[in-house]
Amino acid sequence: MGYLVAAYLILWLGIFGYLFWMGGALRGLRAELGELRAALVARAPEVPEEQEPVAAPPVTPPPVELRGR
């Protein structure tokens, strides 16, 4: 019976701990993003872009293949 309790406890601690950690990360990131955006706005006028911001550097072109087939 104690095992049952232990299993459920660990499970919920794991899941809620994770959720809790993510909530904290979200709060911190919201603040950070707010600061960054403010800093950028202060430097340049806001210009609407068409596409979603690309998180990674631009896609590298596929490798140049020189097969004389």
Partner 1 sequence: MAQLALPRQATGATATAPWIWLLNAVSLVGVMASLYLALWWTPKEAVEGDVFRIFYIHVPIAWNMYVAFFVVFAASILYLWRREPIWDRVARVSAEIGLLFTTLVLITGSIWGKPVWGVYWTWDARLTTTLVLWFMYLAYLLLRSYSSEGGQAPRYAAVLGIVAFVDVPIVQYSVTWWRTLHPQSDILAPGHLTGSMLLGMFVSLVSFTLLGLALFVQRYRVESMRDEARTLRQRLEEAEG
Partner 2 sequence: MVTESAAPPLVKAAKPPPALRYFRQVGVMIRAETLAELRRRETPVAMVVFSLLVLLIFSFAFDLRPGAPPDVLSGVVWSAILFSGMLGLGRGFAAERERGTLDGLLLAPVDRSAIYLARLVDNLLLMLVMEVVTLPAAAIFFNMPVWRPALLLAVFLGTLAFAIVGTLFAVIAANSRARDVLLPVLLLPVSVPIVIASVEQTAAVLSGPTLLAAFPWTRLTVGYAVLFFIISMLLFEHVLDE
Name the site residues for partner 1 (rule: CB under 8 A).
1, 3-4, 6-8, 10-11, 14-15, 18-19, 22-23, 25-26, 29-30, 32-33, 36-37, 39-41, 43-44, 46-50, 52-57, 59-60
**Residue 66 touches which member of partner 1, partner 2, none, C-beta under 5-8 Å by kind:** partner 2
Q: Which is nearer to partner 2, 45 or 62 (CB)?
A: 62
Nearest to 33 by CA among 47, 53, 17: 53
Tokens 């950070």: give the residue: 32
Extract the tokens encoding 67: 């097969």
Tokens standing for residue 69: 């087939």
